[in-house]
Structure 1
Amino acid sequence: MMETISTLEAETIYPIPSERRHGTARDLFTVWFGPNLMMLTVVTGALATTVFGLSLTSALIALLLGNLVGGIFMALHAAQGPRLGVPQMIQSRGQFGLFGAVPITALIVLMYVGFAASNLVLGAEGLQACFPGLGRFEAILVIQLLSAAPAILGYHIIHTAARLLTVLCGLAMFVCLGQVMMLHAPVPAAHAILMAGGEWTGFLRTLSLAALWQIAYAPYVSDSSRYLPAGPESEKYAFLACFSGSVSGSMLAMSVGAVVGLLATEQHVVQALTSLLGGAAVPVILVLSLGIAVANSMNVYCGALSSLTVAQTFTPDRHYGRSARLFITLVLLVLAFGMATLMADRFMATYSEFLELLMSVMIPWTAINLTDYYILHHGEYDVASFFKRDGGLYGYYNVPALLCYLLGIVVQIPFLSTALYTGGVARALGGVDLSWLVSLILVPPIYIAMERYFRVRVLPKGNGHETSL
């Protein structure tokens, strides 16, 4: 029977039993629509018209295309949850092996904590814009407290909060659009011409940014779909619900950001939006700050599951239940809070830049995961092997996957465009980052070829790792 939302979630990284499977695709829509309606998404959308210098028409088209492309990859991961019933990074053992999945999972945890710290800072800025007398520490503490309860209580509270956000933040976003469009007329004729004045560079940069926004959810999207009843229908609706919820929520918030970006002049986007909203600023910014708190709780919750995945690798005989998840959740909350409050502002800026670079390690992982799941295994895995001390059918590590993963990182280097590093090809393209696209195109065929060669040539007598390829 489904546990009540007043108690801690009982399940952690282990398969969800069939009798505890529940929920509908509507729950997945709201869990990806609501939390995307936050200030961070608005600020991201504003980059299209500020940093990348696009007209509003160009910005909206680029943002839409990027979200659609990235959303496909994100939602393909979501469909894995109902089939396997385990968190996403546990399932990665099926591609990389028991120990082979550890470095990637550890990097994902690092990314979660970094995103959580950045979200705390941005959410606090929103509160300070509404209440100028509020100190930075106090503002961060408020966002942290709002983040803590859903992260601690788990799956059901997160879904309940997401349903609330879908209504509140959805209304707030429409208020923003209506207020700005009616009162400030942000689209002069000079901005209505698509691709005028050599906008292609900014267009491609915006498209890549939006695509990466969606792909960033890939390592934990299955964490929210693993409770759905097993079966092809659940898998199909998980894909559709996550895709439509995440893309529509992101586009609504990014559209607000693109419009505000045209009017921000020298102001920060948060301050600009506050000024443009006038009397509606306080309730709208407060609701969007609530949105960032819930999104933050998802980062911490999924970070805890990934941390337990790493721990279970080295202690396979120990069962990690709700108490272990609670402890890890508290540790991650403290780490994120400490980074947001104790470190210097410049450190936080540098760490945010490091997170951009860290995104490049996710792209080959998603390429290998999706290729292995949909093309090589057709979704058929021995879930029990994920938890065996020797890796079961998948062994300690999978050489083709690890080699292709490293290759997928290396081929991105010339195409990377981040604050910390810009490759030669990216510089020649005017700062356009196409590294993610290059890796997604090159890695799958090489991985398929290497898997078939390796299993035929290196494992001729069988070691329990073969499948029908």
Structure 2
Amino acid sequence: MVATDEAGAAAVLEKHTIAPIPLTERHGRPRDLFTIWFSSNVMPLTFVTGALATAVYGLSLPWAVVAIVVGNGLGAFLMALHSAQGPRLGVPQMIQSRGQFGYIGANLVVGIAIIMYVGFATSNLVLGGQALNALSPHISVDAGAIVCAAISLVITTVGYDLIHKINRWLVPVAVASLIIGFVAVPLVHGISAKELHAGSYSFAGFLGMVSIGALWQIAYAPYVSDYSRYMHPEEKVSSTFWNSYWGCNLGSIVPMILGALVGLLAATNQVAALDRDTGGIGWLLMIIFFVAITNTNALNLYGGMLCTITFGQTFRSAMRPGARARAGVSVAIMVVSVLIATAIKGNFLADYNNFDLLLFYFLIPWTAINLLDFYLVRRGRYDVGSFFQPDGGVYGRFDVRALVAYAVGVAVEVPFWDTPGLYVGPLAKDLQTDISWLVGLAVTVPLYLLIVRARRERTPEAVAVVA
């Protein structure tokens, strides 16, 4: 940062993008990780994801709650392990993947992460447009999406400290919105015994929602270290882990349960249903939702910007991008997201569900390799300088072992894929549910460990930190 004083840091543009954060500029506290992951999850997209449990998977409310809690709890464990990498290495999450896949090889997963960011940004823009449209029918969904995009761009352009500061401010607002939703829906709309007991348990539906909950958390893995990399490397792993775990877990579970409740009342457009079913205070929820969407979209845009710069820097190693590059790349990503958002809004829930599942398939093998390499193989000891050398330094340009393990991990999932309208694997048809993520983990974990131990790679003795 231009200044190291935390109180004034958000007043200036962040100057770093993908470069290591010097020790003299490290700042922040582990509890900042709780606030950023709690606040950023209390938003309409989380709410709509919870609605899948009842509106799409047909679960009863009690079984929906269990599936949401189990899925998020499992996924948040992996997400929080990634968060602890940030203070240790001081670089964005996907730059660190060069330590497993090689300088150029990492672009495979970086490219997938870019697609993920665009997808989530697009989803948030649709919901942001719907929130403004619910406030005033004179504001079209498309116009609302553009307003949401513009505000998110401003936040991303200022950078890291402003993002953290906004999320600290939003904690009480997020809590208030959840209380309003849970109190107002039963009081205003009323929930009949028939609605409350609608749906039923099914193994396919239950496991499907567990998978969605776990994916929700694991989808944060490519950018979780982006928001802890300014913290001092001496921060305890346990502190960064638990603050990230509980922030993301609680911030996801509660709005998802509210979504599952409203999903019993409306099979489509749950955002409009929540506005309608909360009566005279629905407008307040829509305002809160819109603010939450622009905040979360700034996180998606910030992560997408870092990944896009990482991808480009691979081919222009001398490039030292700063605030100007961050602004330009962010504008490009947001323009693409707005164009997609205006095209998919008509069939949003189905498109979003399929997109969610596709992400799951490609993120699972990567997160397994990244965490195994960090915690078991190298035990957090990386040569950060090698991440930026055109030849990959000690990690090379390609790490065939990691790429093979990743490819096998994705390939074994394919027969278990279940994305209606896109592809349903033969084993998914037989099982009538999607367990591809379990299969991917079960194969990738032992395979990567076996490959690495068969041919030990030279490991630096200490983390190289730019002072």
Q: 1:125 aligns with which of 124, 130, 138?
A: 130
Q: What residue identity is the alignment partner of 2:110?
A: T
Q: Distance in 1 between matches of 2:373 and 2:82?
A: 12
Q: Offset of 1:4 from its aligned partner? A: 2.3
| 1:12 corresponding residue in structure 2 | 17
Q: What's the offset of the Cα at 1:18?
A: 0.9
Query: Aligned-pair distance for 1:189?
Result: 8.1
SS in 2 for 1:263: coil
Find the counterpart in structure 2 of residue 180 from structure 1. 185
Cα root mean square deviation, aligned: 2.3
Work out whether residues 196 and 264 of structure 2, in 8 Å CA contact, stay in contact via their aligned partners in 1: no
1:237 to 201, 223, 239: 239
| 1:363-421 CA distance string (max 9 Å, x none) | 11101000111110111111111111211110111111000000011011111111311
Q: Is 1:77–2:119 an aligned residue pair? A: no
TM-score normalised to the size of structure 2? 0.92
Q: Which moved more, 1:363-372 or 1:184-193?
A: 184-193
The residue that corresponds to 1:467 in the other structure is 459
Query: CA offset at residue 82 of structure 1?
Result: 0.7
Q: Residue 200 of structure 1 aligns with which residue?
A: 203
Decide whether the 8 Å contact of 1:412 with 1:439 is kept in 2: yes
> Pick from 83, 92, 96: which aligns with 1:91?
96
Task: Kindly state the Cα deviation for residue 209 of structure 1 after the two structures are TM-superposed.
Answer: 0.7
Contact 2:60 2:201 in 1 (8 A): no
Code of the residue aligned with 2:69 in structure 1: it is L
Matched residues, percent identical? 43
Match of 2:438 in 1: 437
Q: Map of 1:368-379 to 2, 5 A cutoff?
A: 368-379=369-380
Deviating more after overlay: 349-358 vs 204-213: 349-358
- Residue 315 (structure 1) shift: 1.4
- CA separation in 1, counterparts of 2:249 and 2:352? 27
Aligned counterpart, 1:269: 270
- Aligned in 2, Cα 1:328/1:168: closer, same or farther, shift over 3 Å? same
Residue 70 of structure 2 is aligned to residue 65 of structure 1 = yes
Q: CA deviation at 1:137?
A: 2.7
Q: Indicate the residue corresponding to 2:428 in structure 1.
A: 426
* Residue 248 (structure 1) aligns with: 250
Q: Hey, what does 1:158 align to over in structure 2?
A: 163
The aligned residue for residue 111 of structure 1 is 116
Match of 2:358 in 1: 357
CA distance in 1, matches of 2:195, 2:153: 46
Q: What amino acid is aligned across from residue 322 of structure 1 in structure 2?
A: A
Q: Point out where structure 1 has 5 or more consecutive residues left out of the alignment.
A: 456-464
Shift of 1:311: 1.5
Q: Secondary structure at the match of 1:408?
A: helix
Partner letter of residue 248 of structure 1?
L
Deviating beyond 4 angstroms after TM superposition, the runs of 4 or more aligned structure 1 residues are: 189-193, 342-352
**Does the aligned pair in 1 maintain the 2:212–2:356 contact within 8 Å?**
no
The amino acid that maps onto 1:399 is V
Matched with 1:340 is: 341
Q: Does the residue aligned with 2:419 lie in a helix, a strand or coil?
A: coil
Residue 191 and residue 274 in structure 1: after superposition, are their counterparts in 2 closer, same or farther (change >3 A)? closer
Would the alpha carbon gap of residues 103 and 78 (structure 1) be closer, same or farther in structure 2, given more than 3 Å must change? same
Please say if residues 118 and 348 of structure 1, whose CA atoms lie closer than 8 Å, have aligned partners that are also in contact. no
Report if aligned partners of 2:86, 2:231 keep a CA contact under 8 Å in 1: yes
Cα distance 1:190–1:429, how it changes in 2: closer, same or farther (>3 A)? farther
Structure 1 partner of 2:385: 384
Normalized against structure 1, the TM-score is what? Answer: 0.92
1:62-110 deviation digits (Å, cap 9, x = unpaired): 1001000000000000000010010000000000010110121012112
Pairing 1:325–2:287 present: no
Which residue in 2 is equivalent to 1:171?
176
Q: CA deviation at 1:27?
A: 1.0
Quickly say closer, same or farther: Cα 1:282–1:371, change in 2 above 3 A.
same
How far the C-alpha of 1:182 sits from its partner, in A, is 3.7
- Following the alignment from structure 1 to structure 2, what is the Cα–Cα distance between the partners of residues 91 and 300? 19
Within the candidate set 140, 143, 149, 1:144 is matched to: 149
State how far apart, in whole Å, the 1-side matches of 2:343 and 2:210 are: 35
Three-state SS of the structure 1 residue aligned to 2:326 is helix
Q: Is the 8 A contact 1:186 1:259 kept in 2?
A: no
- For residue 341 of structure 1, report the CA deviation from its aligned partner: 3.4
Contact 2:58–2:200 (8 Å) recurs in 1:
no
Opposite residue 454 of structure 2, the aligned amino acid is: Y
Give 3-state SS (helix, strand or coil) of 1:47's partner: helix
